[in-house]
Amino acid sequence: MSGNTILSLRKLALLGAIEQPIKLSSGNFAEAIKSSLQTAARRLQELERAGLVHRRITADGQWIILTKNGVERLKSECYEYQELFFSTPQIEVEIGGRLISGLGEGRYYTTLNGYKKQFESKLGFAPFPGTLNLSLDLLCIVARKKLEGRIGIEMACFESENRTFGGAKCFPCKILDDRAEGVKSAVIIPDRTHYPEDILEIISPVYLRGELNLKDGDELRTRVVV
């Protein structure tokens, strides 16, 4: 994506097109980005074709709002600048909780090729189908929130079978159990709105319940590198 495209997307966001549709003519937009009328019209068309904005043309102008992909692209750009200018050294956060059974969604998502290939290339392992789920107390919920403010290892969204699957970020972690010595694992935080903040999901190349002889209600602690 070109720098001019990002510049145009950012300008639309600053004009208010994140929260709600804004009414904007090509002439107004040309003035906002300091370009010709033709260039402004072309930029809006490019953003629409890229799926970054929705446009509705009316008799007296057009209504524009950023799509979810457009907002996520700006967020990604923001994170990159934060990493460049305000990066902080890696720290370790200890988070523990009680093991609970999930709804089975983790088994489905971790086996999708769009995620599986990214896990292999970015984490160095293909996860065992499913996630290990920990229910967190109040103190550990606060610790988990620290992860949300860090960049982590990004898993990009993708499309498959006429459906869009959201992104996520992962953080390598070490399970604080002697039986888990040498076992790779990572915390995964999906980019989902209203995702439960009192649940921590862990992926690993091995079946952790079996490897560590765990059952629901058992306590487990992990040290997460963020």
Indicate the pLDDT class of residue 186, thresholds 50, 70 and 90: very high
- Please give the C-alpha separations between residue 12 and each of 5, 21, 122, in angstroms, as whole numbers: 11, 10, 33
Task: Give the pLDDT confidence score for residue 82 in this predicted structure.
Answer: 65
Average pLDDT over residues 59-81: 83
pLDDT in tens, 191-200: 875 568 899 9
The CA dihedral of 36, 14, 80, 55, to the nearest 10 degrees, is -70
**CATH topology match: 3-85 vs 92-225:** no
Q: Rg of the Cα trace of the chain?
A: 21
Average pLDDT over residues 50-69: 90
The proportion of the chain whose per-residue pLDDT surpasses 70, expressed as a percent, equals 92
Task: Give the pLDDT confidence score for residue 151 in this predicted structure.
Answer: 82
Strands (E), the chain: 22-23, 53-58, 61-66, 92-100, 132-135, 153-155, 158-160, 163-165, 168-175, 186-190, 199-203, 219-225
Indicate the pLDDT class of residue 170, thresholds 50, 70 and 90: very high
Task: Give the pLDDT confidence score for residue 67 in this predicted structure.
Answer: 92
Indicate the pLDDT class of residue 88, thresholds 50, 70 and 90: low
Task: Give the pLDDT confidence score for residue 119 in this predicted structure.
Answer: 95
> Rounded to an integer, what distance in angstroms lies between the CA atom of residue 87 and that of residue 79?
10
Please state the domain extents for the chain: 3-85, 92-225
Task: Give the pLDDT confidence score for residue 121 in this predicted structure.
Answer: 93
Higher-pLDDT residue of 96, 197: 96
DSSP designation for 28:
H
In this prediction the pTM is 0.61
CB atoms within 10 A of CB 213: 9
CB atoms within 10 A of CB 126: 15
Is 86 a residue whose pLDDT tops 60? Answer: no
pLDDT in tens, 115-139: 999 999 999 999 999 999 999 998 8
Top CATH class of 92-225 equals mainly beta
Indicate the pLDDT class of residue 162, thresholds 50, 70 and 90: confident
- Please give the CATH number for the structural domain made up of 3-85: 1.10.10.10
Pairing of strands 168-175, 153-155: antiparallel
> Rounded to an integer, what distance in angstroms lies between the CA atom of residue 119 and that of residue 123?
5
| Both structure tokens of 66 | 């950023």
Q: For the chain, what is the mean pLDDT?
A: 88
CB atoms within 10 A of CB 220: 20
Is 85 a residue whose pLDDT tops 70? Answer: no
Query: Residue holding tokens 């999708």?
Result: 112
> Rounded to an integer, what distance in angstroms lies between the CA atom of residue 57 and that of residue 45?
12
Higher-pLDDT residue of 67, 105: 67
